Structure 1
Amino acid sequence: MTIDPKSLFTSLFDAAVDAADPQRTIRDVLPQKPEGRTVVVGAGKGSAQMARALEQAWDGPLEGVVVTRYGYGCACERIEIIEAAHPVPDEAGLAASHRLFDAVSGLTENDLVIALISGGGSALLPSPPDGMTLADEIAVNRALLASGAPIAAMNTVRKHLSTIKGGRLALAAHPAKMVSLIVSDIPGDNPAYVASGPTVPDAGTRADALAIVDAYRLDLPAAALKHLDTPAADAPSPDDPRFARNEVHLIASAARSLEAAASEAARHGIKAVILSDSIEGEARDVAGVHAAIAREVAMRNRPFEKPVLLLSGGETTVTIRAKDGKGGRNSEFLLAFALAIDGVEGIHAFAADTDGIDGSEANAGAFADFTTPKRMRAAGVDPKAALARNDAWTAFDAVGGLFAPGPTGTNVNDLRAVLVL
């Protein structure tokens, strides 16, 4: 059997992204048309493509506005697309939050709101409470991104420092019925954590948020800490009767995309094993576990017989140790993985963010194999030093190992694939 690992990995990525394409999934969950207006709101890196898919599937009157990341927009006829900054909020995102509130104001119980929510919405919907400024929210976001905290913890803090997250946008639409269509980038697929849940509340409390601040030693602005110490920060409860009519539908997730990738591997004659769709943790630590399994397969043919493809999803985190490094969690995972399998023949790996962008640069991830550290050193890059300064992008760029498909229009978190031949 002759296998080109890079071609295989690219086909796996394409299959995973295709399985999360709203054009394929949104028609199955369309709500009934209301007696009154149908208003669309949304936020996330996949929201524009979700809006286009909804327009094509909906044959009645439709209006609304969604916000997505700069460069992620697409042409829509009835739904306005706004672009704003991600992962650090900006004024355009603040204006977009106001526009979403305007869109759902003054509705009646005969109206319907369709919310199109995907990962990335937390940064795209800044909406600081009284006493905080946009600059404060930006500082909060920067502190969270550098902390190494898992996404659920970050979003628990975010929803208590916002007037739109944690179900508050849904409350603003009451008494209209809200149907949330969600593309999940959250390990475990809790819809309340996607984009910090602007339309879906959860049971996390202000005390939980304060505990996270302490646990990760978050350096938050004084205004944010002051707000967290007041009842004004309390988020709506899931049992609030104003949420009773609302519906939530998951239209894409890491689990479904991993299953599609496994099927694509089978088409190539490779047995695939899905380790988990909800792996979290420090990227370099997760890499160490994946590498240990790969070495065991390569050297002892256990716990799986080679050839085999190991798949996993979820979202790792990176604790920023240096300010001048380039990269993201997938490239950092791969650099740590490559170092851990250095010289062990037959091991190849790939990791990428399904939204098409990984961290601070334009790549989604990278490719690696058992020769990668050697090739990096030959190119004048010390891979261990690069990992120490969070500079995986530079290391992979030096050996032509970056993977850059561009924005995909969806976001179901990370796809990791390890091929052992």
Structure 2
Amino acid sequence: MIKNLRSMFDIAVRAVKPDSTFTANRLKYENNKLMVLDEKCSTVGCLNLEGRNVFLLAIGKASLGMTESFVCSLPIDFLSRIRIARIIYPKSHSNDRSIISRIHERLSASNAVIDIKAFGAAPQNIPDAGSLAATKDVWTRLTQTSTWDPPPFLITLISGGSSALLSHPIDGVALEDKIQVIKELSLRGASIQQLNTVRSAFSKVKSGKLLSYLPNNSTVANLIMSDIVGNPIHLIGSGPTVLPIPGSSNSQALDIMNHFDCSEALKSVINTTERFNFESTVKNLSVENLIVCSNSYAIRAVIESAIKDPEIGFDDVICLTASYQGSVVNMVETLFKLVRQIIQQKWKSENYELKLTNPFYDASCEDVMMPKTVGITSMSPDKYSHEILLIVGGEPTMVVTGNGLGGRNQHAALVALEKYADDFNFFKSHEVAFLAAGTDGQDGPTDAAGAVVDKNVASLVIHSEELQSQLSSSIRNCDSYNFFSKLAEDFKVSGDENFSSPHIKCGHTGTNVMDLVFISFAI
């Protein structure tokens, strides 16, 4: 089943790549209006350009792909309205030059005078000098649109990673100090919502502040690829061009820093910094926000493919939630407990049907992908094996201990391996396999998106006292990357024909809609 899980992850990532999000079928331009449609071709938004020229700004891990797909899906008469284009992307993208070249070529076809520039920055998703330079350039160019008549139409293409790419600290705070605070919060288990709230308080451009560089009466449309549970538009990419929530203040950031016991010096800066007075700075702005892609898009693609493709072989595919953001350890433990519960109750059910409470159900969460119960209704007494795939989407958190190397998805797989080894014969007999990976292709500061665990991986561990000891110490030290790297080497030495490295290494995917976790088994 391990190959099936890898295939499911590939399908999920392809479904949320920019060339699937922005296509000629999902972007229409007629009569001065830009229509944006979803994957079912239902209208998400209608943008009326009203004769305005366009400033195109793309930020995030998907910015290059979003820009290329956006400009290649729209006709020349729309492209001729673009006067300035700015792209800020993660510097480590391997094929960035070829993509940028294609963007230049497409925009040049409009014969309009376009100021195009792309900035590579923050290769490790940490703000750097490249981020500062790009940010200053963007706000300088936005200021220069004050001469445009009518005022500009700013179209932003925002995806995860924007917080690190568009960054400039407030006066009195060094970039290094801001980075240290965010690092402290991350290591102590802060959620992405909490991280971006603090980032915004320290920033000159986040939480709508970038809009202050626009002239009055400008129009803004944010096309957003969501990487946060619940799609909170003011927090995705730290919302640089989203109108701030009325009544928001720095006190929220201060509360978070107090909760996680952060630097006293920086808490003092936040406490004395006046709230950005957006209302008196920017007037008569029209801002529209459109979610064009999210975690649920990826999950729906997996469900559809797993059911339709007979070669994949799943009889039931169940999404438990697309909105998980709790402990990564609790998530794994809950999944293995649920799998055991389903297996043990198979023959106790009437008419070979099961209906169990979904342990991930949260009545307070608006998640259409989250059922209240887990229903398995297609079991047949005549079928030798009934194969099930359970899916969890979201962005788990973890408290980092020790000084190991890894990320939350690899750590999830490490904990899953421990669970597997604890009752190896049971889980092996039911072909249990587990995958956890980030859709952006990068889990923590590593070159892996995540990892996969199955009976072959677990077998290697239970037959080696040394590996069992290393597994326990790697969990304590959060050293998942090195553990799975060693495991891959041991597989090669063993000469096992069924060898497949536990690591998932797909490189930067050019998209980002949080994490996906799959667990499959047979009953």
TM-score normalised according to structure 1 size: 0.91
> Distance in 1 between the 2:420 and 2:510 partners?
33
Equivalent of 1:357, from 418, 439, 442?
442
> Distance in 2 between the 1:55 and 1:132 partners?
38
> Distance in 2 between the 1:234 and 1:111 partners?
23
1:383 is aligned to 2:462? no
Q: CA deviation at 1:284?
A: 1.5
Q: CA deviation at 1:300?
A: 2.9
Moved more, 85-94 or 107-116: 107-116
Instruction: Give the equivalent residue in structure 2 for 1:87.
Output: 125
> Distance in 2 between the 1:242 and 1:365 partners?
46
Q: CA deviation at 1:98?
A: 0.8
RMSD: 2.3
Partner of 2:274: helix, strand, or coil? helix
Moved more, 145-154 or 262-271: 262-271
Instruction: Give the equivalent residue in structure 1 for 2:263.
Output: 220
Equivalent of 1:144, from 185, 210, 216?
185
Partner of 2:144: helix, strand, or coil? coil
Equivalent of 2:235, from 190, 193, 200?
193
Q: What stretches of structure 2 of length at least 5 have no aligned partner?
A: 28-35, 37-45, 108-115, 347-353, 357-374, 377-385, 489-500
> Distance in 2 between the 1:214 and 1:235 partners?
24
Letter in 1 for 2:58: G
Decide whether the 8 Å contact of 1:34 with 1:111 is kept in 2: no
> Alpha-carbon deviations, 1:224-255, whole Å to 9, x = none?
32221024245747x99747511111111001
> Distance in 1 between the 2:518 and 2:399 partners?
23
> Alpha-carbon deviations, 1:252-288, whole Å to 9, x = none?
1001111111111112341210111110022222211
> Alpha-carbon deviations, 1:359-403, whole Å to 9, x = none?
111011111124534423656432121111001112222232000
> Distance in 2 between the 1:233 and 1:122 partners?
20
Instruction: Give the equivalent residue in structure 1 for 2:294.
Output: 253
> Distance in 2 between the 1:145 and 1:235 partners?
29
> Distance in 2 between the 1:288 and 1:241 partners?
49
Moved more, 297-306 or 275-284: 297-306
Instruction: Give the equivalent residue in structure 2 for 1:338.
Output: 417
Letter in 2 for 1:206: N
> Distance in 2 between the 1:247 and 1:329 partners?
34
1:103 is aligned to 2:141? yes
1:284 is aligned to 2:329? yes
> Alpha-carbon deviations, 1:186-208, whole Å to 9, x = none?
01111211111111144343221
Moved more, 401-410 or 98-107: 98-107
Q: CA deviation at 1:69?
A: 1.0
Matches within 5 A, 1:290-301: 290-301=335-346
| Bigger-Rg structure (1/2) | 2
TM-score normalised according to structure 2 size: 0.74
Equivalent of 1:208, from 246, 252, 255?
252
Decide whether the 8 Å contact of 2:215 with 2:282 is kept in 1: no
Instruction: Give the equivalent residue in structure 1 for 2:400.
Output: 320
> Distance in 2 between the 1:243 and 1:49 partners?
32
Q: What stretches of structure 1 of length at least 5 have no aligned partner?
A: none
Letter in 2 for 1:152: Q
Letter in 1 for 2:131: G
Instruction: Give the equivalent residue in structure 1 for 2:91.
Output: 70
Q: CA deviation at 1:165?
A: 0.6
Letter in 2 for 1:258: I
Over 3 Å counting, the alpha-carbon distance change for 1:373 and 1:139 in structure 2 is same
> Alpha-carbon deviations, 1:49-103, whole Å to 9, x = none?
1111122123223231121112233322144321111322111111111122123
1:118 is aligned to 2:159? yes
Q: CA deviation at 1:171?
A: 2.9
Decide whether the 8 Å contact of 2:313 with 2:387 is kept in 1: no
Percent sequence identity is 26
Equivalent of 1:17, from 13, 16, 23?
13
Over 3 Å counting, the alpha-carbon distance change for 1:215 and 1:34 in structure 2 is same
Over 3 Å counting, the alpha-carbon distance change for 1:84 and 1:34 in structure 2 is farther
Moved more, 347-356 or 12-21: 12-21
> Distance in 1 between the 2:284 and 2:483 partners?
49
Moved more, 199-208 or 125-134: 199-208
Instruction: Give the equivalent residue in structure 2 for 1:163.
Output: 204
> Alpha-carbon deviations, 1:169-226, whole Å to 9, x = none?
1232243211111110101111211111111144343221111112222x2362x322
Decide whether the 8 Å contact of 1:8 with 1:265 is kept in 2: no
> Distance in 2 between the 1:260 and 1:38 partners?
33
Decide whether the 8 Å contact of 2:439 with 2:511 is kept in 1: yes
> Alpha-carbon deviations, 1:103-160, whole Å to 9, x = none?
3113255321111110111112221001111112221222222121111111111111
Partner of 1:229: helix, strand, or coil? helix
Over 3 Å counting, the alpha-carbon distance change for 1:181 and 1:130 in structure 2 is same
